Amino acid sequence: MPKQEKRRMNRMAMTILSGLLLAFCGLAYGPSGEALPPASVKSVAGSAKPIPVPPPPMGWSSWNSFSNTIDSNVAMQQAKALVASGMQKAGYQYVNLDEGWWLGKRDQNGNIVVDPKQWPALRPGERAGDMANIVKYIHSLGLKAGIYTDAGEAGCGYYGPDLGPPEPHTGSEGHYEQDFFQFAKWGFDYVKVDWCGGDHENLDPAVQYREIAWAIQKAEAETGHHLFFSICNWGRQSPWTWAPGIGGVSGDIWRVSGDIVAPIVANTRSGSRRASFPHVLSNFDHGIHPEAQHTGFYNDPDMMVIGMPSLSDAQNRVHMSLWAISGAPLIVGADLTKLSKATLETLTNREVLAVDQDPLGLQCVKVAEPSAGLQAWAKRLAGSGRWAVLLLNRTTTSASISVYWSELGLPPSSSATVRDLWAHKDLGPYTSSYAANVPAGDAVMVLIKGAEGKTTRFAVSSPANEMTGGAALASCEACSDGKSVTLGGNKTFTFRDITSAGSHADIQIAYINTGQTPRCAELRVNGQTATRIAFPPTGGRNSVGEITIEADLKPSGAKNSLTFSSPCNPGPTLDSISILAGSL
């Protein structure tokens, strides 16, 4: 059979298989139908405890500054700089090896062959060409190690016209289980899976990344080592609608746009890649999909370009503010050995980092734009009445920008405290609103804390609700009104007559997940396209957990329907939903 036709048949088979397997819980069965080992073996060091739900990852990646010239010396220098600079103490932990760590050689059994000169032995007794060497070094510094591959047969180093001619077989297609087992066996903690080969071959990203997720889970089960999953298909086919929880693990991220550092402005061989501030703003805009993001699962607007040539200190600070308020992964792409004092202060501002790492895991929404380019962005934080607000001036002249308490769900005429997160300064109490004069192209970032407004709860037992596909109410001692409903298979549950003051609502879902891994569900608001939601483990049957999501509703008292279903079997058990104050 010709190679192209074989690929087409394989893709068709995977598409059919993916549909069939939706009857099971995400990754309960592998791509060939075999039952995977119990989920508890995914736990770290053989523990039966669930893997903690992670905040957005923080660390460094080689691509922006070193392109495909990464080697052991570069990795060690950057790892040491991450520690010596104080970034590790601030929370940065990953050292990620991107494209170029491997140039496509495989042995007769299909195993990856690593260049021993590029990755030599680092200690007595080690073997040159073993990637476990660099992993052990990174781990010895108290850091975590990341690795890279492509979903297709070849990676970006092969298809990118400015990158030179490495070996063609630099992707993992056809070797998913083999490669991800090897990554876990080497000890890597993070894997980024690019899409250059997949795009060139016209593959379906939702199908391919699900197959990759199966391979990752199988590797974790066999090795006991967890791999954080980074999907990098640049927003093709709207990954925010299918990526959350696709890995069946306790966290993953998905790219929502192209690279900030575009290949057309990159001289990758000389290492003089330059960042563009307009691209920073564009990637931020493309990255806003708040309905998909919640604790453990994050939109990724690309690695940061803070500290790279062409950005000013002010632009670096705005960049950091944008990524933090959107709850994005904080992966630094600059050469860590060349960061200025001002850049390090920007990257390690603990108050700003706390906004990014907030345990609710939500993304910001634009609450006001009274005139073009003068914007107020807000992100709900954990705790009562706490909001991070970014006043962003995208114009060419200085201007005053305001945020009103009514836009945050705080009582309109109440008093709230305001703190400048960059100046580390309490600005005092304000009533009804806060305004700041923001220079052209700059931003002001504040923390606002006031009295929480009214929350409206809707229980599963309401007679207005609807159940189909065999869904039924059951007794639940720990639930808010003593009743619950479990999703899975054909079971659906619809909350009806849900009302909201505004068109954008923060919805708190109370649920139970007695498993060791997240259980998935899909939410359709007023019959629209479904959004995938991941429900992390909560513990025993009497342990009710909560996640907060964001959704667009009909405002001003109009009635809404929220329909939950689950391709998992079993799916999560629902207790209630609550519309939080601050529906915008």
Q: Which residues are tagged catalytic?
A: 194, 259
Concatenate the DSSP letters of all residues of 379-432 into one string. EE-SSTTEEEEEEEE-SSS-EEEEEEGGGGTS-TT-EEEEEETTTTEEEEEEES
- Looking up tokens 């993916």 gives 18
Maximum distance among all alpha carbons in the chain? 73
What is the rounded distance in angstroms from the CA atom of residue 346 to the CA atom of residue 53? 26
Residue 30 three-state SS:
coil
What is the rounded distance in angstroms from the CA atom of residue 577 to the CA atom of residue 456? 8
Comparing C-alpha atoms, which of 355, 401, 352 is closest to residue 379?
355
Helix axes 72-84, 132-140, angle to 10 degrees: 10
Residues near 73 by Cβ (< 8 Å), separated by ≥ 6? Answer: none
Residue 113 amino acid letter: V
What is the rounded distance in angstroms from the CA atom of residue 151 to the CA atom of residue 10? 14
Q: Round to the nearest angstrom and report the end-to-end CA distance of the chain.
A: 57
Residue 442: C-alpha distances to residues 295, 332, 474 (Å): 29, 21, 54
Rounded to a whole number of angstroms, the CA Rg of the chain reads 24
